[in-house]
Structure 1
Amino acid sequence: MTTIHRAISSYRSGSVLACVALIAGCASAPSDIAPKSNGWMKDEVSDSYVFGYPLVLMDLSRAAATGTGPGQAAPNTLRHAQSLPPVGASSPPEPNLDTLSSSGWLDVSSEPVLVTLPDTHGRYMDARALDMWTNVVWSTGAAQAGERVSGLKAQTIAFVPAGWKGTLPARVKRVDVTTRYVWFLARIQTRGGGDLAAVRRLQRGFQVTALSDWDERGARGKAGARGNGGARGNEPTGATQSGDPVAPGTPSAQVAALDANGFFSRLAQALEDNPPTADDAHALKILGDIGVHPGDPAELPSGTKDAAVVKAGLADGRTRLTTPPPNLLAGNGWLWVGDDAGNYGPDYALRAYAAYTSPGLPTTRDEVRARVSQDSDGHALNGANRYTMHFTAKQLPPVRGFWSITAYTTDGALDADAPVRVAFGERSGARRNRDGSLDVHVSAERPRGGANWVPAPHGDFRLVLRLYAAKPQATDGSWQPPAVERQ
């Protein structure tokens, strides 16, 4: 018995030692195996920032523009610009000097919202509506494709929530929208000065009406109609915004100030009411990988190393946002967005860049907007120099509407010291040469004779060429703006 007991005891001791050795081996295993890399996280945070930037910018823009405070208006109400924009920091980047604008944020969550446009009697006007992902869901440019633009006829457009089934009034254009909110923008061409009064009269012809407030006589038949400006009590306060409808500076700065948790929490909140398309399923999966789900607070990886990777991913996304994508159109130093403008599909980089540089960018049928900040030798444009652009007779901007050129400081402001504040263009006294060509002069000081002059800031500046209701040549590669030549 004693021998047996000793054998059992020896076996048990050996088993225990074996188990201890096994456990020790398990404990030492991680030192022999490399830890799982979290490099994927940086890429997914960067990709998600680029994907979500347009929605976050639009959501902050909507919040800034709607309400009862100064410069705000209630949802389903239009604000009307009453004058051309001021110079300096109070103006949004690259303010438009060609038009007065009307804009508002429509909430279609419960029923269709109808927008009535007035007959402009030959005066140029364009209008468009964007969903919360900056896709243009409707525009006058699409409706008038191929035609010379000489004003708009009176018309009514109904913006309808997804899945709505019902009957709209006769002769109303139906536009289905998948996001809760719609940004509506309209611009009416003006020469400034005494011409502003005529534009304001047209602005009073706008109507925004919920379907439940519509009757057989149309929007004007009910007191609930908003935004026409006909009765002063219905006019939104602070209607002094610039030619490009909603000042984007403050919302852009707000987005830039958000840390990763703030940005992605805002994105998750906005996603609940404004879902992306079915084609964006993979982008939503990546958001889920980093802890972002529609309607819930963001739960980003928060470990010490993970937090550093998330921060690096955010910085990378911001850099990508400001970098011109390779599929921009380019010629003679100019850059502009091509036919994908306003309808970006899965090209998230182009969509984010367009939202960052040109909030509310229309389709190319409505406007092409080209920029240049260097001369033909690659040097920065500066008001200490004089420049010319020579348009041959066949190189004039191809438009169905009109075109203009404006100079801005490098941060997109108008020069406070400029002797005049105009956009030079087709409708502001452009004088052609005998052969049909056109020479445009760009300088801080008025050139001798003063013809075809674009006033420029005294320091570094950039030029913006706007083509209203552009023809297909503006984006099919058959046309380019001329180089900016230093004299």
Structure 2
Amino acid sequence: MTKKRQAYSFSRTCLALAGLAILAGCATAPGVAPKDTGWVRDEVSDSYVFGFPLVLMDVSREAATGNAPGQAAPNTLRHAQSLPPVGASKPPEPNLDTLGSTGWLDLDSGPVLVSLPDSRGRYMDARALDMWTNVLWSTGTQVGEHGGGLKAQTIAFVPAGWKGTLPARAQRIEVATRYVWFLARVETRGGGDLAAARKLQRAIRVAPLSTWDEHGGHGAEPAFTGASQSGDPVAPGTPASRVASLDANAFFDRLSQSLSDNPSTPDDSHALKILADIGVRPGDAVQFPSDAKDAAAAGYADGRTRVATPPSNLLAGNGWLWVGDEAGDYGPDYALRAYAAYMQPGLPKTSDEVRARVSLDSDGHPLNGANRYVIHFTAKQLPPVRGFWSITAYTADGALDAHAPVRVAFGDRTGARRNRDGSLDVQVSAERPRGVANWVNAPHGDFRLVMRLYAPKHTAVDGSWQPPVVERR
């Protein structure tokens, strides 16, 4: 509620009281009509949803950059050297299909350039996100044009309004935020195939324009991390849990400071006005309304619940949920943006990947390893991809099963055997059924399935395709 509406509400209260006791005017009866603070609760809740992606990214950046083990300096890369081990849970739903490389670019001193090698037919993708989790640039539409691989290219991330000369053939990408999160992934099947994937990782170069040359001398060598880092690398530790540990003042102080270096878009002017209403301004200490502390705390709790709640505009089919065309380009859909950041940090555009989840069977019961399930793809229902696809089972909290005998994602790269009519049956269970080739190894307790479509076709998000139901046998 605006201050004008508060005054109007207060005046109506005074008139009502005057009608009951004319001699005791409104001004002489303090406390009779408590001030309405419901607007504070609503605006704090809305502001938490709006600001959550920026705070999460800032916490992640801070945790990932530095000289400590598992960290790297700005404008350098960290590389995963091997697939995540059994039982891995950081980040949630660790990737078993690719090795990942990640780095935080700092544009404060000018452009930062990234060069990607020719992947020579091996699946490889890359993307860059601004601090609000919008995808600034990605390779999604390129994948599939050259047999699943990428051609060599250079991308220059440039501060908005920067004027200067870039190297020849560098693609210019203007960025409004100071920091950029860069991620690349290289397909691997593990084992002896890891060496080839690592070679491509080492060929990725990142450096500021000031240290760039035309002969491959692009700054410092990328840093390499240990084997615990998975194909979707994030900061060491758990940035989401760090954000969850912040109280309202700490969260909005962090948001205020982050806004100074990472402004929102002009279309977010109304969201910034709401922030100002509750005492949050870029670069300043937070000053919630002094008489609305309880309302601010309640709004903060509401906002945290909303961020973790699937929004109604997720795509849904046969129990599976996934983000549609808005992925990576959310506009004013702050609820979807916050949920995507909460569930899938670094979510790419749907031209890069579609990631669908299911945790219930066809009867609405939680998936559990005590049961056996089948996923039946008709010949026309196979995942529509230009790259490849996979299905992985995780515990209810997103970890790989610590008791699993293998750590392999099932998919079209792992020898999926079709039926005579072209259909495909995939068995899901904790114990491998005898004689079954198409099998997803599930945890013994409750679990969820994640289906990844790398370089999906547009039918994966235009409503013409849905994953099959997970049917209990």
In which range does the TM-score fall when normalised by the shorter chain? over 0.9
Give, in angstroms, the shift of residue 28 of structure 1.
2.6
- Tell me, in whole angstroms, the C-alpha distance in 1 between the residues paired with 2:236 and 2:471: 32
Question: Does 2:445 match 1:459?
Answer: yes
TM-score by length of 1: 0.90
Q: Find the counterpart in structure 1 of residue 135 from structure 2.
A: 136
**8 Å contact 2:89–2:400 — kept in the other structure?**
no
Q: Find the counterpart in structure 1 of residue 246 from structure 2.
A: 258
Distance 1:26 1:154, change over 3 A: closer
Amino acid at match of 1:295: G
Within 5 A, what are the aligned runs for 1:217-256? 217-218=214-215, 220-221=216-217, 225-227=219-221, 229=222, 235-236=223-224, 238=226, 240-247=228-235, 250-256=238-244
Distance 1:239 1:485, change over 3 A: closer
Give, in angstroms, the shift of residue 301 of structure 1.
2.5
Q: Find the counterpart in structure 1 of residue 208 from structure 2.
A: 210
Percent identity over the alignment is 76
Within 5 A, what are the aligned runs for 1:274-285? 274-285=262-273
- Number of aligned residues: 453
Question: Does 2:169 match 1:175?
Answer: no
Give, in angstroms, the shift of residue 308 of structure 1.
1.0
Distance 1:27 1:198, change over 3 A: closer
Q: 2:293 aligns with which of 287, 296, 307?
A: 307
Cα distance per residue 1:272-315 (max 9 Å; x no partner): 00000000000000000111010111112243xx1111111011
Distance 1:381 1:169, change over 3 A: same
Give, in angstroms, the shift of residue 25 of structure 1.
4.4
Q: Find the counterpart in structure 2 of residue 102 from structure 1.
A: 101
Q: Which has the larger radius of gyration?
A: 1
Higher helix share: 1
Question: Does 2:428 match 1:442?
Answer: yes
- Tell me, in whole angstroms, the C-alpha distance in 1 between the residues paired with 2:455 and 2:119: 16
Give, in angstroms, the shift of residue 226 of structure 1.
2.7
Distance 1:26 1:226, change over 3 A: same
Distance 1:31 1:259, change over 3 A: closer
Within 5 A, what are the aligned runs for 1:119-134? 119-134=118-133
Cα distance per residue 1:87-132 (max 9 Å; x no partner): 3355320000000000000001111100011111100000000000
After superposition, the CA RMSD in angstroms is: 1.8
TM-score by length of 2: 0.93
Q: Find the counterpart in structure 2 of residue 47 from structure 1.
A: 46
- Tell me, in whole angstroms, the C-alpha distance in 2 between the residues paired with 1:162 and 1:130: 15
- Tell me, in whole angstroms, the C-alpha distance in 2 between the residues paired with 1:438 and 1:477: 21
Q: Find the counterpart in structure 2 of residue 7 from structure 1.
A: none
- Tell me, in whole angstroms, the C-alpha distance in 2 between the residues paired with 1:341 and 1:27: 53
- Tell me, in whole angstroms, the C-alpha distance in 2 between the residues paired with 1:104 and 1:140: 17
- Tell me, in whole angstroms, the C-alpha distance in 1 between the residues paired with 2:217 and 2:145: 33
Amino acid at match of 1:28: T
Within 5 A, what are the aligned runs for 1:81-480? 81-88=80-87, 91-144=90-143, 147=145, 150-215=148-213, 217-218=214-215, 220-221=216-217, 225-227=219-221, 229=222, 235-236=223-224, 238=226, 240-247=228-235, 250-303=238-291, 306-480=292-466
Structure 1: gaps spanning 5 or more residues: 1-21, 230-234
Give, in angstroms, the shift of residue 150 of structure 1.
1.5
Amino acid at match of 2:278: I
Give, in angstroms, the shift of residue 362 of structure 1.
0.2
Cα distance per residue 1:147-166 (max 9 Å; x no partner): 47520111110000011001
- Tell me, in whole angstroms, the C-alpha distance in 1 between the residues paired with 2:421 and 2:235: 41
